[in-house]
Structure 1
């Protein structure tokens, strides 16, 4: 398996990958071991896991060379990426909660680096032409807490994007503006995103 990338193009996956810095043990690396881990989290139900990964039980068997499979060496990069994302999402939840609590206890600072298409809303109206921006900045405690809280309750991606958009508005676009500034920013599409904490 290739080395773990720490950036992603969704907020949920970027948070999951940032948590990897706090793991005390590495997750399984082989396809068979990863599928065994995911099956243990899905009641050993191949059909439920296949649905979660947007594939079929037969494709899972082939991918992991599970008993009764044919063609276990068949390469499926999309499925491989889906399996990796799911393993990262589920690995060491207690360690991650402890890391999040420690970060919040210590002023809740979080750095982000991203490239995304941003839309803007101001008193005069909205921009219909999202602009590609590349930024690295620090998010402050209330926004970090909101992102962690949403992650812990498995909030949908759109909610996470909205929370991150609010954080960008407050921590970057409003930092040198007068109080009561009405401009807001919304993330239209993420090219890459990485959290550091």
Structure 2
């Protein structure tokens, strides 16, 4: 999972109402319930079916570090699906009202990356490392989540994020710089918040 895809996943996980199970046995039992069989769990984790059965019965309590990470990742990816879906839906449709105007706040993106467009050298809009924290409109959140669900590549997710950031930062929601192609490269970090 890339920087943007991982950031979207972490943002959704912030909406969880309960922590994931802590013990390896509880995590295996959860996966067994979700995947409906020890063979499916074993295939998902890359272990034998007998190993899964031992964890389920608490005959083995402490997994190797690599298995512990795979186990936690598998549980986290399936944890609270309705809460996850609701958080994504809210980010893709939410608006907040300020004192006099209604502004969209679908998904807040905080990033440090090379951001801008090709311009005359020395202008303020020339591509350079920028630290931005911008609320994207809900339609961009919806596009990002839909693309992620469809299995979009990291570059495709970055392109959607760049389009949204360009719309809000350079084009000011369509009020200026029409037709501007924005570059979003050398991404150091991306954080999303719902």
TM-score, normalising length from structure 1?
0.66
Unaligned runs of 5+ in 2: 96-103, 121-126
Unaligned runs of 5+ in 1: 1-7, 51-55, 125-129
CA contact 1:120–1:186 (8 Å) conserved in 2: yes
Deviation at 1:18, TM superposition (A): 1.6
Deviation at 1:91, TM superposition (A): 1.4
Which of 57, 77, 90 is residue 47 of structure 2 equivalent to?
57
Q: Residue in 1 aligned with 2:108? A: 111
SS in 1 for 2:177: coil
SS in 2 for 1:102: helix
- The change in CA–CA distance for 1:120 and 1:92 in structure 2 (over 3 A counts) is same
CA contact 1:104–1:145 (8 Å) conserved in 2: yes
2:10 matches 1:21: no
Which of 171, 179, 182 is residue 180 of structure 2 equivalent to?
182
Which of 49, 55, 59 is residue 66 of structure 1 equivalent to?
55
**Number of aligned positions between the proteins:** 175
TM-score, normalising length from structure 2?
0.67
Which has more radius of gyration?
Answer: 2
CA contact 2:26–2:56 (8 Å) conserved in 1: no
